[in-house]
Structure 1
Amino acid sequence: MPIPVLVTAPTVEPITLGEAKAHLRVDGSDDDTLISSLIAAARRHVEDLTGRALITQSWQLSWDDRFPDDFRLPKGRLQAVDGITYVDGSGATITLDQAAYVVDAESEPGRVTPAWGASWPATRCQPVAVTVDWTCGYGDAAGDVPAPIRAAMLLLIGTLYRDRETVNIGNVVNDLPTFGLLLSPYRLWSFG
């Protein structure tokens, strides 16, 4: 499968600085920059583990030679297909009419199929013959992300804040399964 490319990153994080500081029991602003970076790192890690976009973001995916047989869009909660372009036999880039395809945003991952009675148009056999742009994520606000995902992020932020090195010397450490248990129902296995 081709690799999706992030076009527009989320404008907010699923955890606010205030929520993270309350979880960490941190007062003052000395560590605000560090904590903000840990929030972003936790989001990216959770997105990688689950195969999902958490907050609204735009992505692009391209296929060589032709339309895919299994036209699925990774990153979870599909909000909209923003456009599909293809290169026709003469080499012109054509924007596919929205009436030519059906978007299934209920399935995860989202799917795109030709409209009833239609088929995908012929493309030129070349790299990047078909490109789709789409928007995905749970929503625009932190509160749109499911509570278990946000709870897992807070656990990860807490660990990253407390353990600022890659090794732990002289302590007995036991991983608690809570983090994985919170995220397990949200993992998109086919794209994780």
Structure 2
Amino acid sequence: MIQKFSFEKLDLEGSFLIKPFVAYDERGYFIKDYSKEIFEENGIYHDLKEVFYTNSYKGVIRAIHFQRINEQPKLVRCISGKIYDVIVDLRKDSPTFGEWRGFYLSEDNKNELYVPKNFGHGYLVIEPSIVSYKCAEKFYGEYDDGIIWNDPDIGIDWPLDLVDKKIILSEKDKNLQCFKEFRDGK
């Protein structure tokens, strides 16, 4: 069985939910989750610069991260396990500024999320997971920034019941700014 690429434009301009090419047979499956040519045919110009992987325990929340300068468009896929992935529109001139959307990404559904530049991105780990980030800009630690995961103005509805409400946060993520500070230019 073959599943071809499909691209679903999301209502936050520039973001997409993508089903990659997957070929299944008696051995398992073969997956192609990025093709410059196919992506460009679908209006996504993603010039791959770096690839990162995270390995996270159940209950980890990686807060809403972004890069202030040299923004990083990302193609995110959960290679193993399951996560609840969240994007937030941080474009101050956008009609959807401050709005968020959430998606389950897993090894089973093989979906991937295209996160355009000027968006925040984070996720809750529902099962121990490995997540791939294919970035169209290099990571610059000096420009790394974020918004606290439970900011009331954004109001993300994290499915914490799926992790028995036991969350794991890094010290860095516990001390991020709130959305109001970001909006007002802190």
Do both proteins adopt the same fold according to a TM-score greater than 0.5, normalized to the shorter chain?
Answer: no
Higher helix proportion: 1
- Give the structure with higher Rg (CA): 1
The alignment's TM-score, normalised by the length of structure 2, stands at: 0.24
- Larger RCO of the pair (alpha carbons < 8 Å, separation 6+): 1
TM-score (norm 1): 0.23
